[in-house]
Amino acid sequence: MTKICTRCLLKDFNKEQYEAIVTNGLSSLPKEDLTGSDITEKRLAVCRDCDKLNQGTCLACGCFVEIRASLKKGKCPYDLWK
């Protein structure tokens, strides 16, 4: 049985998928579209405390939060990243 990991980011439980989805996905985007790592980490800290986070995805919008939080135009659907 696969353990469900709530309040986890993808990098916390599946390094292969993290590399394939997040690292590769972000590497294909223009650098000017990405936030600095400090902003991304602040956003992800909010996600980690959010009950909508489930195995690296946001149950409110279905995104991989590590990708959304890395985008300058990325927004939390509940506007919790202020």
Q: Which positions touch ligand SF4 (CB under 6 A)? A: 46-47, 50, 52-53, 58, 60, 65, 76-78, 80
3-state secondary structure 8-69: CCHHHHCHHHHHHHHHHHHHCCCHHHECCHHHHHHHHHHHHCCCCEECCEECCCCCEHHHHC
CB of 28 to ligand SF4, least distance (A): 21
Nearest CB to ligand SF4, comparing residues 16 and 51: 51
We find the least distance from the C-beta atom of residue 42 to ligand SF4, in angstroms, to be: 11
| Closer residue to ligand SF4, CB minimum distance, 15 or 42 | 42
Distances (CA, A) of 37 to 3, 22, 41, 42, 82: 29, 14, 6, 9, 16
In the complex, minimum distance from the CB of residue 48 to ligand SF4, in angstroms, rounded to a whole number: 8
